Amino acid sequence: MEPSVFEKMSDRVIFSVIKQIVNKIDLDTVENSADWQFYEVVQTVCKLFSIDPSIQDTDFLYNTILLNESLLDEDSLPSKLERPTLKNYEYDWVVTMKSIVNEYYRNTISLYSAKDDVNDLLYSLKSEGTLDIFDGDLYEEDTRDSEMLDDELDSVTEI
């Protein structure tokens, strides 16, 4: 993922942006940087600077606000801003699916029977349980239908 465009900006510009954000939203109602109300305010403010904010931009601004809450009552920037550090995370997403899949297995068998008799012979061997589908090689899968039953985020690891 790309770093936030705000990382390249001066503290003064960032301070101006976060001041406008803070003046438009009650931060006590914001749970995290993905909060819809927060995101809408960030979009509105960023448009003034011709910025189309990414997830990283929104997260950068949110965490910069948290790190600098004591400075937000000031009219101008009294000291250097503390900035969050970009970290990479890996996460697992477990999806439970119900699928109807055609699987095509290629099997081989050595027989003395004539080709015209082999189909009937194979059906008989299948019925008796002598042949196992999975003895062959899977060479194609065709998903006919699928339905997502559930999905949930699992473990998150900083990488």
> Digits of tens for pLDDT over the chain (159 positions)?
789 999 999 999 999 999 999 999 999 999 999 999 999 999 999 999 999 999 999 999 999 999 999 998 888 999 999 999 999 998 888 889 999 999 999 999 888 989 998 999 998 999 998 888 888 899 999 999 999 999 998 888 889
Is the pTM for the entire model greater than 0.85? no
Angle at the Cα of 124 (from 119 to 125), degrees rounded to 5? Answer: 95
